[in-house]
Each structure stands twice: as structure tokens, then as C-alpha cells.
Amino acid sequence: MRRVDEDFSQELQQHLEMLTEENLRRGMTFEEARRTAKVRLGGMTQLRETHRELHGWLAFESFFQDVRYALRTLRKGPGFTLVCVLTLGLGIGASTAIFSVVNAVLLRPLPYPNHERLVRIEERHPGSGALGASFLFANATYANFNDLERDAKAIENISAFREWKFNLTGDGEPEQVAGALVSGNFFAALGSKPALGRMIAGEDDAPGADNRVTVLSYALWQRHFGADSGIVGRTLQINAENYRVLGVMPRGFDYPERSELWCPLVPHGQFRDNRRAHLLTVIADLRAEQTLGNAQGEIVALGERIEKQHRTDDPDMALAAVSLKKSMVAPVQPALMVLVFAVGLLMVMACANLANLLLARAAGREKEYSLRAALGAGRGRLARQLLTECLMLALPGAALGLGIAAWSLQFIVALDSRDLPRFADIRVDWRVLGFALLVSCFSALLFGLAPALSSTKTDLNASLKAGAAASPGGTRRGSSRALVVPQFALAVVLLVGAGLLGNSFVRLLRVNPGFSQNSVLTIGLFLSPTEYPERDVKSAVLLQQMLASVRSIAGVRSAGLVTALPITGGASTDFVIEGRPLPPANDEPSADIRSVDASYFRTMGIPLLAGREFTDADNANGKRVMVINETMARQYWPRENPLGQVVTMKDWGPPLTGEIVGVVGDVKTNGLDEAVGPMIYWPYFQFPQLFNTLVVRSDGDLFRLVPAVKAAIWAVNKNQAISKIETLEQVLSASLARRRLYMILLGVFAGAALLLASVGIYGVVSYSVNQRTQEMGIRIAVGAERGDVLRLVLGQGARAALLGIAAGIAAALVLTRLMASLLFGVSATDPLTFLEVATLLTLVALSASYIPARRAMRVDPMVALRHE
């Protein structure tokens, strides 16, 4: 408005000057000329005032006219309005939700001050390229970390951490919390600042210094210590030792992986020079003025040098630098990209539907436009009014979409999912809101403007004279039918994608995990490393007592012990078979290892295939024995009896040699979708470990058993921390959480796409029936069977749909390959899925066309002919 005012003042000023000049030419004096000019122009202030009012009022008035008119028109066609708003809402809602997830997980920077410079140094080994395996092998040995810290020049704050569990005892119920052992400069690398006190820094991790210090997360401080402001300096019992609290991190800081507690990573003796245990995650900051490329070059060269020096310990090792964020999101990126793609398709479909509806309507209202144009409405004015109408649709559509987005985000976040990185950060934020508004306004403008412009080009006389029946909408009808084709094509792509994921999921559920998953409760037990030094038989004695205590509970059928549950992964080792030639250093066979008690196999329902299970006699004093799984037996002794063979395990401290006494069935080790590898089981007395899980089989309600189990454990050791109480079914289900999430999301998209496609084809066919009422009447009048009319209309819809389906199948054949890594047990071009989708869509197309087709069939020829 101010600009308009200034413009006008300038304009008046010019006018005054010109009048003055005219007067001067007539021979007046300057004074006189000026005065006369002012009189002839009129009072400047008053003119400005009137101008402002007029300008504002007219703009205002015509806007409100438009809004009123739009609302009236929309009310007159509630079905049309509803479908448009729903279509927009669906499109906007789905895209906003997915955009929020992508924004939180992939786009938003890591919440650490140094996020732009943070890199992770990964170890690479041959064969670790596959998704699952790369994480196990990306971790570094302490020796490599030392070498990096000493020699790397392009990076600074080179730090290492190891995810760890801590038993917190002394205050209230013992609690196990997740956290990390971190090197002195870990916090410096991230650049984060504490909320209270100080962080672990500099020399806190030096052997011999005061290492018994700890930093708490904000959440732990709130939950376990009631936000005690005097917490700094207090002494806590962590893993049965006294630790002094240094500080508390700010709210939300939980790196790595929802950590709640951090203690120094102290490199004692052997550990420091270890080149075989790949346990550390190494992160660092790029130095100022260094690029990732520079660092990468240096790190790779360094890796090559180290590999040459230590080939016997760690053959074929290579180092690489990647941005920390990239390494964090790498596992979910492909799936998220598929979702983004899917939501893009859905949005396109929603827009196409909207365009279709608006185009069809524009054609139906041609007469109205012509009339208004004839009455003097300018083309711009008409277009503006149509745009107002579209915005009246877009705004509620956007509101509905945001509602849908907020609701589905709640749903997505509730669904899961601990193993999506940065998942807690997902929310609808203002950028997402902006995105939704942009999309809705853009689609409204685009699809409002196109019909508006084409309709205002109408030749007034022609369309006024032509009347309603023979509207010149032929090309437009063609173009709206043409929109059905891509809609069906897109629906095919989405449905095939969802179908393939669904098929994969069903197949996964049918996979035999190798154990019986019903009626088993699992309880995590982590023994304190100070009370029970690693490999000390004392820990096994304690566990034996706890097992006996748990077994005595009424309702417990059996109870067993294992170092890591199936499905959840676990430790592995290289091994050597006695009496066979030594394999080359980089090609030693490897197997997963677990320590179990005598009743583990029975409790889990893992079948014994040959030999015997462990007994209580397989204790610390007994002969070293092991049980192997079927895969190991088949792989290494295909034509011999594995029983009696002797195997040496190499990677866990001093080599441990034992005789194979039994073979049990395979269980899925790393997930239902991962192949099973060789597995070695040790009796827990012969290979005691600190991380253990109790498995309890009972016929009753498992969760009713929990208090009794806890009490039984605490009766043996009142300071024993307990973590992760889950049923075996929950463990299995959690392992499928990510897949379930993707399947549900893509399934929802596909459902929405189906809905949009059917609304689209219904709209087009029913519109064309309306337009051709007269033609149908004539056909029937001159003797067409009603069945012929039905076939004519159905055929018209079906042809467009079939064309779309064919195009969609062609596109899907190419596109589903992108999601191959998400599939299990079905190929990306699974013919059955394709066939099902094509059939489903054909049926949908036919039934959506059938309703208007029936109407066409019932046309009364007399009524239709008299229609004009």
C-alpha cells in the first residue's frame, strides 16, 4: 500500500509540473502558474486520500466477492469439494509426514557444534561391503586408533569409544544403563558443552590417572537422581566400583546410540597394542581448511602403511574416512529414498486427480464463463476468481494434510523404532509446514490456472450458441482421460512396491528361526567386570546359583543361559581345525561363539542332531568340549563325523581348544533375513562371559513371572542389575520392526494411490457420461441395446486404465530394482505380485466405471433428446 501511495504522489507531482509548464507557456508568472495549476488539479491531500480509499476498497471488495462466490460454488457441489479437499489432504499429509522423517533422519545436521567437520574413520576388510557385515568390521582396533592419533595430520581430536553397559547400584533398584567408554577427547571432537560440571577430557583416560570418573546424561540425571543439583562431585556405584560424577550433559545429548552414561576408555596393557579385536568406533574433526577428500587421501595411505607393517595380525585391512552423518544414516538411506520416491508419486497422483477434477469442472462451466465474459468480466478477473476458488480448496486441503501428517508421524514414532538413527528427533517443524503450504498452493495455482486460462480463451458466441449438450469440450475430455493413464501407471508402481515388501514380510514370518519362540522370557544380566574379571570361573558360579534360584520358582518349566540371544547377533572368532593344513592368514574359517548352560538347548527348543548336549559335568575342571551347529558340521565335515574332532578358537585371549561332542540345529543368528553361518557353543563354565541372557520357559503368563524372577536373582546377589526383560516373541518382532515400518508406510501409500486412481477414473467416466447423455439417448433411440451402451462406457474407462496398467508394469519392472536390498525371498520382478496388482487395478477400474455406466444405460431417450 505504501508503494502505491508513493507512486501516486509522484504521479500527481508530475501532473502538477506539466500543468505549471502549460500555464508558463501561456505567459503567467511562475507564482501564478503554480497557483492556477494547483487549483485545476484539486487539493493534493484530498486526492491522495480518495485514491487510497478507492484503491484499497476496490481490491478488497473484488477479493471478497471472489471468496463469497467461491464458497457458494463449492457449497453447491459438496461432493466435488470433498473429493478435492481429501485428495489434497492425502497428498499433502503423506508427503509432509515422509518429508518430516527424511528431514529428521537424513537432512537435519547432527546436533553437535562440530557437525560439519565430524568424520568417522572406518576399518575396511575384504568382503565387508555388504550392508549387514560392514558394521561389524568398520570398528577399529586400539592399536590402529593409536597409530591414527599419532600420525594423521588432516584431522584433529581423534577419539574413540566403545558402546558399553553399566550397572548402576546403590541408589534405589539396581539399573542397567547403556553408555560408552570414551577416550579423553571424545567430547571435544563433538564440540558439545556440559549442562553441569565438566566433561571427560584430556588426561581422564590416561592409565594411572584418576579414571574413576563419569558423566551423566540429562535423562539419567532426571530419572535416577531426581535432578539433584548437587550431583557433581558425588560418588556413584558403577559396576560395583566407586565413580565420581564430573558433570551432566545437556538435554538431548545421547551419542552414541542413546547413551546415558560415559566413563573413560582406559587402554590397559594388552588392549593398547591389540590388532585383532575390532571394538572401537573412531571419530575425529577435520582440521580447519582440510577437506574430506584430503583427509581421505591421508587416511587411506596411512592404512596401507599400517597394513604392510602388521600383515600377520590384520591382513587386508584398509582405512577410510567418511562423514559421521553419512555413516550414521547409511543403513536406512536406501529405504528412505524409496519412501521419498513413493510419496513423490503419490503427490503427482493427487495433483493429477485435482487437475482432472478441475478440468472436468471447467469444461462443465464453460457456459457460465462465456456468459460472465460477455457481461464484461475481463480474462484476468475470471482467472483470478477461479484461482480464489482453488485456494479455497487448497487451504482446507493443507489443513487436513497437516492433520494427517501430525497423526501419521505420531503413529510412525510410536511404531518403533529404536534402530532408525535419530528417530527421536522426528517432528513436524516449521520447514515442513512451509513445504506443505508450498506444495498445496503450487498445485492449486498450477491446476487452477490451466483450466482458467483455457476456458477464458473460449469464443464467447460459439459456446453461448452451442448450449449445454454439444459443448466443445472434446479435447479437454481427451486430456482428462489422458490423465487417467499416468494415474493408473503410478498406482501400479506403488502397489507393486508395497506388494513386494508385503510378500517379503510374509516370507520372513514363515522363516523357521531354529528355535521355539513361544512362552520364553528373556532377561539381560551383565556382571560387574571388577567383581568378576573376564574369564574368571567365579562369574559362572554366580550364574549357576541364579539359574538354580530361578528354576525353583513355581511355574518355571526350565531355565537356561546364553551369552547372546539368537537374531540379535553376537561375538565371533577365527578357528583352526586340528589335523588340517593351516589356511593362509587372511582366509581362516570363522564362526560365531556362544557360552551356554546345559539346559539352554532344551529351554529354547533347539534340536540335538548328533552326539550329546552339555551336562553339569562339563565344568571348569572337565575336559574342554564344544557343540557346533548343523551348518558348521556340513561345511567342514561334509563326509566325516564331526564328533570327536578338535577345534581351536583364536580370537578371545589365549587360544582355547575343545573337542566336538554334539551337533545341534541351526538358529538364525543375525536376523531372520540373514543366512546362518558356523556356530560354536561352549559350556559357560569353560568360557565364562560377563554379558549373559537368562531364558525362562513357562506355560503361564510370562510377565506375571517377572517379579518372581527378579526376586530370585536378587536373592543371590542384591546388586545384580537386570536389563531388557522381553519375551522371545518380542525379540523376534523387534528384529522385524524396521521392515514392518517400511511395509506399513508403503502399504498406506499404495492404498492411498488405489483410492486416488479409483476416484480419478470414476470422475472422468462419470463426467463423460454426463456430457454424452444426449448421444446415449440417440444411440438407444436408434436401437442400441442397453448392454451396448454399458459396454461402450465401461470400455472407455477400461481402455485408459489398461493402458496405464501396462505403462505402470513397464515402469515398475525398472523401478522395483531400486528396492532389491529391501526384499527377502521374492525377486524384484516377482510375476505373481505383478499379476495380482494388474488384476486388482483392472477390477477397480471396472467397478469405478460401472456406476456411471449404469447411469448411462438407464438414460431415457426421450428425456435425453428433449434435454436442450
One of 198, 381, 786, 791 touching other proteins (CB under 8 A) = 381
Segment lying near other proteins (by CB under 8 A), choices 372-380, 533-541, 559-567, 823-831: 372-380
Q: Which is nearer to other proteins, 51 or 535 (CB)?
A: 51
CB of 450 to other proteins, least distance (A): 20
Report if residue 333 touches other proteins, rule: CB under 8 A: no
Q: Report the distance separating Cα 110 and Cα 323, nearest Å.
A: 11
Q: Which is nearer to other proteins, 379 or 551 (CB)?
A: 379
DSSP 587-631: G--EEEEEEE-TTHHHHHTPPEEEE----TTSSTTS--EEEEEHH
Report if residue 17 touches other proteins, rule: CB under 8 A: yes
Q: Which is nearer to other proteins, 36 or 222 (CB)?
A: 36
Q: Do 697 and 520 contact (CB within 8 A), yes or no? A: yes
Segment lying near other proteins (by CB under 8 A), choices 156-164, 261-269, 379-387, 787-795: 379-387
Instruction: List Cα–Cα distances, 655 to 279, 310, 575, 576, 651, in angstroms.
Output: 19, 20, 9, 10, 7
Report if residue 376 touches other proteins, rule: CB under 8 A: yes
Q: Which is nearer to other proteins, 49 or 534 (CB)?
A: 49
Q: Report the distance separating Cα 547 and Cα 800, nearest Å.
A: 68
CB of 62 to other proteins, least distance (A): 7
CB of 21 to other proteins, least distance (A): 8
Instruction: Write out the binding residues for other proteins, residues 52-91 only, by CB under 8 A.
Output: 54-55, 58-59, 62
Segment lying near other proteins (by CB under 8 A), choices 41-49, 302-310, 569-577, 707-715: 41-49
CB count within 10 Å of CB 292 equals 17
Residue 417 preceded by cis peptide, ω within 30:
yes
Q: Which is nearer to other proteins, 15 or 650 (CB)?
A: 15
Q: Which is nearer to other proteins, 18 or 585 (CB)?
A: 18
Q: Which is nearer to other proteins, 56 or 583 (CB)?
A: 56
Segment lying near other proteins (by CB under 8 A), choices 10-18, 429-437, 785-793, 832-840: 10-18
Report if residue 710 touches other proteins, rule: CB under 8 A: no
Segment lying near other proteins (by CB under 8 A), choices 11-19, 221-229, 441-449, 830-838: 11-19
Give the dihedral of Cα atoms 572, 577, 581, 585; nearest 10 deg: 10
SS3 call for 654: coil
**Which residue is listed with cell 537356561?**
560
CB of 390 to other proteins, least distance (A): 19
One of 43, 467, 472, 795 touching other proteins (CB under 8 A) = 43
Q: Report the distance separating Cα 4 and Cα 16, nearest Å.
A: 18
- In degrees rounded to 5, what are phi and psi of residue 523? -135, 125
Report if residue 380 touches other proteins, rule: CB under 8 A: yes
Q: Which is nearer to other proteins, 41 or 790 (CB)?
A: 41
Binding mask 86-125 for other proteins (x = CB under 8 A): ----------------------------------------
One of 41, 337, 453, 708 touching other proteins (CB under 8 A) = 41
CB of 813 to other proteins, least distance (A): 51
Question: If binding means CB under 8 A, how many residues of this protein chain bind other proteins?
Answer: 30
- What's the burial of 645, exposed, middle or buried (CB within 10 Å: 0-12/13-18/19+)? buried
One of 113, 226, 250, 378 touching other proteins (CB under 8 A) = 378
Pairing state between β 213-216 and 241-248: parallel
Report if residue 19 touches other proteins, rule: CB under 8 A: yes
CB of 190 to other proteins, least distance (A): 57
SS3 call for 122: strand
Q: Which is nearer to other proteins, 17 or 701 (CB)?
A: 17
Report if residue 459 touches other proteins, rule: CB under 8 A: no
SS3 call for 132: helix
Report if residue 273 touches other proteins, rule: CB under 8 A: no
DSSP letter, residue 109: P
Q: Which three cell numbers stand for residue 267?
A: 587402554
Report if residue 291 touches other proteins, rule: CB under 8 A: no
Angle between helices 430-456 and 366-374 in degrees, nearest 10: 70
One of 108, 115, 258, 379 touching other proteins (CB under 8 A) = 379
Q: Which is nearer to other proteins, 58 or 835 (CB)?
A: 58
CB count within 10 Å of CB 72 equals 9
Q: Do 422 and 336 contact (CB within 8 A), yes or no? A: no
Residue 691's beta-bridge partner residues?
A: 526
Q: Report the distance separating Cα 429 and Cα 442, nearest Å.
A: 20
Segment lying near other proteins (by CB under 8 A), choices 156-164, 376-384, 480-488, 812-820: 376-384
SS3 call for 23: helix
- In degrees rounded to 5, what are phi and psi of residue 473? -95, 15
Q: Which three cell numbers stand for residue 531?
A: 567383581
Q: Which is nearer to other proteins, 17 or 173 (CB)?
A: 17
Contacts of 218 (CB under 8 A, 6+ apart): 195, 248, 249, 250, 251, 252, 253
Instruction: List Cα–Cα distances, 692 to 180, 303, 537, 815, in angstroms.
Output: 19, 35, 14, 44
Q: What's the longest Cα–Cα distance across the chain?
A: 131
One of 6, 7, 273, 578 touching other proteins (CB under 8 A) = 7
DSSP letter, residue 821: G
CB of 447 to other proteins, least distance (A): 23
CB of 56 to other proteins, least distance (A): 10
Segment lying near other proteins (by CB under 8 A), choices 6-14, 262-270, 521-529, 627-635: 6-14
CB of 389 to other proteins, least distance (A): 18
Report if residue 8 touches other proteins, rule: CB under 8 A: yes
Report if residue 700 touches other proteins, rule: CB under 8 A: no
CB of 71 to other proteins, least distance (A): 22
Q: Which is nearer to other proteins, 381 or 650 (CB)?
A: 381
∠ at Cα 120 (119, 122), nearest 5°? 145
Q: Report the distance separating Cα 565 and Cα 515, nearest Å.
A: 11
Instruction: Write out the binding residues for other proteins, residues 738-777 only, by CB under 8 A.
Output: none
Query: How many Å is the Cα radius of gyration of the chain?
Result: 37
Q: Which is nearer to other proteins, 59 or 820 (CB)?
A: 59
Which runs of E-coded beta strand occur in 213-354?
213-216, 235-238, 241-248, 261-264, 281-286, 318-323
Q: Report the distance separating Cα 409 and Cα 415, nearest Å.
A: 10
Report if residue 15 touches other proteins, rule: CB under 8 A: yes
Interface residues with other proteins (CB under 8 A) are 7-8, 10-12, 14-15, 17-19, 22, 40-44, 46-47, 50-51, 54-55, 58-59, 62, 376, 378-381
